[in-house]
């Protein structure tokens, strides 16, 4: 069976268009550069701009402000505005904001451009899962969404890996310019694949009722999606994981430079390696969900393991090599959480607008964790003078995450028991 894209390009509706999926992945990798570029550049930025430790924390976490307040709202509008149009717009906003940071010096201007980068990040993060859905066949969808969940660690680690090449030659300005170029190229790649997405990825389709009579209610699908308690638990669990993970991403470079007197090159490589360990965790999480492991059980176990490993890497009595290995273990183990959460839209959503609403909710949950966790850890460390005291933040987040995972598991068990005839698969799988 064949179908046509919006511009008339034919494609096989029963087959996954992997080139289009690759373009979506490129968009995710590019937008994640705006996350990964800051941790490795913070020491140079602090020296040039005279930033305090807490100010540096806000430079990093300001990117999450838009997601913190408006990610769910962005998702609600996905069906009306079109996922493809929104994703390309988000990439362009991110690129222009990075370039503006080079032309507008000063701490205040830097915070403003990071806010704009956050808007671009939020739009891309919410829109791209709908594009993955629009380019994949049902049998490939969960795997493809599991791949998508790796965009953040993979893209951020790419920024960190490029830092040893760019920072000594062009400083943080060169890293910002390179990020802008990558975002523009990703926008072109996505535009080049525009005919390979199903109609739901384009603007206007969510505005028409399924029976073809007039305009559909805008808030109806939103209310139906958000009335489910399970997405809220998943979003909050995602936030608890983000608190732990982004604390490592943001503060490991500063710790290695200031407490271990390492040079910037090895620091960037060690931080990038820790971050990229999340990618196989993402893929493992997608595979486990595909095999029928309940999301709540998976999240609770992962949160427990990350909390225990955080105790280890915070122990100053342990050798540095072991502490680093435990930090890598936190990244890998916790990587199953975003995969389990993001792929849930395949069974909890029925329309592109509902996919957008769910992804917006999940993104907002993750960004709340990042937004609160990063400056909170900075404040704890600044007050105590000891990096090991950051365990109070990451450990608490892990404990709350375990409780949320267990609550989600109980909810999933209840949904399975209420399924007609006892044969219907649990909706959360």
- What are the tens digits of pLDDT across the range 216-269? 555 666 777 777 888 899 999 999 998 888 777 767 777 787 777 787 778 878
Structure tokens at 47: 């020296």
Say how far apart CA 408 and CA 365 lie, in whole Å. 15
Residue 2, SS3 per DSSP: strand
Residue with tokens 């795997």: 143
pLDDT band at 416 (very low <50, low <70, confident <90, very high): low
pLDDT of residue 427: 42
Summarize pLDDT for 330-371 with one digit per residue, the tens: 999 999 999 889 878 777 766 666 777 888 888 888 878 877
**Is residue 212 over pLDDT 50?**
no
pLDDT of residue 423: 41
Q: Does the CA dihedral 25-32-255-375 come out positive or negative?
A: negative
HEC profile for 262-275? CCHHHHHHHHHHHH
**Is residue 420 over pLDDT 90?**
no
Please report, for residues 166, 174, 221, the alpha-carbon distance to residue 169 in angstroms, rounded to integers and kept in the order given: 5, 8, 51
pLDDT of residue 7: 38
Q: Please give the domain boundaries of the chain with CATH numbers for all domains.
A: 2-207+225-418 (1.20.1250.20)
Structure tokens at 219: 């808030």
pLDDT of residue 2: 41
What is the pLDDT averaged over residues 376-385?
77
HEC profile for 29-78? HHHHHHHHHHHHHHHHHHHHHCCCHHHHHHHHHHHHHHHHHHHHHHHHCH
**Is residue 34 over pLDDT 60?**
yes
pTM summary value: 0.75
pLDDT of residue 429: 44
What backbone phi and psi angles, to 5 degrees, belong to 4?
A: -115, 145
CB 62 within 8 A of CB 188: no
**Is residue 186 over pLDDT 90?**
yes
What backbone phi and psi angles, to 5 degrees, belong to 110?
A: -65, -40
Structure tokens at 93: 């906003």
Say how far apart CA 217 and CA 256 lie, in whole Å. 53
pLDDT of residue 161: 80
208: β partners: 215
CB 152 within 8 A of CB 159: no
Structure tokens at 30: 């590019």
pLDDT of residue 196: 87
Question: What 8-state DSSP symbol labels residue 9?
Answer: -
Question: What 8-state DSSP symbol labels residue 425?
Answer: P
pLDDT of residue 10: 45
What is the pLDDT averaged over residues 10-25?
80
What is the pLDDT averaged over residues 406-419?
77
Helix (H) or strand (E) holding 316: none
Give the number of other CB atoms < 10 A from CB of residue 184: 18
As a 3-state breakdown, the chain gives helix, strand, coil percent values, each rounded to 5, of 80, 0, 15
Q: Interhelix angle for 229-259 vs 295-313, to 10°? A: 20
Say how far apart CA 195 and CA 358 lie, in whole Å. 25
What is the pLDDT averaged over residues 397-413?
91
pLDDT of residue 108: 83
Which range, of 130-134, 237-241, 375-379, averages the lowest pLDDT? 375-379
The DSSP annotation for 214-244 comes to SBPPSHHHHHHHHT-HHHHHHHHHHHHHHHH
**Is residue 282 over pLDDT 50?**
yes
Summarize pLDDT for 79-106 with one digit per residue, the tens: 678 889 999 999 999 999 999 998 887 8
85 CB-contact burial (10 Å; exposed 0-12 / middle 13-18 / buried 19+): middle
pLDDT band at 422 (very low <50, low <70, confident <90, very high): very low
Radius of gyration of the chain (CA): 21
CB 217 within 8 A of CB 343: no
Which range, of 28-42, 49-63, 207-221, 284-298, averages the lowest pLDDT? 207-221
Q: Residue length, the chain?
A: 429
pLDDT of residue 33: 92
Question: For the stretch 194-224, what's the b/e string if a residue is b when 16 or more beta carbons lie within 10 angstroms of its beta carbon?
Answer: bebbbebbbbebbeeeeeeeeebeeeebbeb
The upper half-sphere exposure of residue 363, i.e. CA atoms within 13 Å in the direction of its Cβ, equals 34
């Amino acid at each position: 069976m064949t179908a046509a894209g919006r511009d008339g390009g034919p494609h096989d509706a029963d087959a996954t268009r992997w080139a289009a999926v690759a373009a979506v992945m490129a968009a995710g990798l590019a937008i994640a550069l705006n996350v990964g570029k800051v941790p490795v550049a913070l020491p140079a930025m602090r020296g040039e701009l005279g930033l305090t430790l807490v100010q540096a924390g806000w430079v990093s976490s300001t990117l999450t402000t838009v997601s913190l307040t408006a990610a769910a709202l962005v998702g609600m509008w996905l069906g009306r505005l079109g996922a493809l149009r929104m994703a390309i717009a988000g990439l362009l906003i991110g690129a222009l904001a990075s370039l503006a940071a080079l032309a507008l010096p000063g701490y205040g201007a830097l915070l403003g451009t990071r806010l704009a980068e956050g808007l671009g990040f939020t739009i891309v993060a919410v829109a791209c899962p709908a594009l993955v859905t629009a380019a994949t066949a049902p049998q490939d969808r969960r795997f493809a969404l599991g791949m998508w969940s790796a965009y953040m660690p993979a893209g951020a680690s790419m920024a960190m890996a490029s830092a040893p090449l760019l920072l000594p030659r062009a400083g943080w300005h060169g890293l910002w310019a390179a990020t802008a170029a990558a975002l523009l190229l990703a926008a072109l790649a996505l535009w080049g694949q525009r005919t390979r997405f199903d109609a739901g990825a384009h603007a206007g389709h969510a505005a028409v009722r399924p029976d073809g009579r007039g305009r559909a209610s805008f808030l109806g699908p939103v209310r139906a999606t958000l009335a489910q308690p399970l997405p809220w638990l998943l979003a909050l669990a995602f936030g608890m994981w983000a608190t732990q993970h982004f604390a490592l991403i943001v503060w490991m470079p500063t710790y290695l430079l200031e407490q271990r007197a390492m040079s910037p090159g090895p620091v960037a490589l060690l931080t990038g390696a820790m971050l990229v360990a999340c990618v196989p965790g993402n893929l493992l999480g997608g595979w486990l969900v595909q095999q029928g492991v309940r999301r709540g059980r998976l999240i609770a176990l992962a949160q427990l393991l990350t909390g225990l490993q955080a105790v280890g890497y915070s122990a100053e009595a342990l050798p540095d090599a072991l502490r680093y290995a435990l930090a890598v273990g936190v990244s890998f183990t916790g990587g199953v959480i975003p995969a389990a959460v993001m792929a849930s839209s395949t069974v909890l959503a029925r329309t592109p607008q509902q996919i957008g609403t769910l992804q917006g909710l999940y993104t907002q949950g993750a960004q709340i964790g990042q937004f609160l966790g990063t400056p909170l850890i900075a404040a704890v460390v600044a007050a105590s003078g000891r990096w090991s005291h950051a365990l109070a933040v990451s450990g608490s987040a892990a404990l709350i995450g375990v409780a949320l995972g267990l609550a989600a598991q109980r909810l999933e068990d209840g949904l399975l028991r209420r399924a007609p005839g006892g044969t219907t698969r649990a909706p959360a799988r």
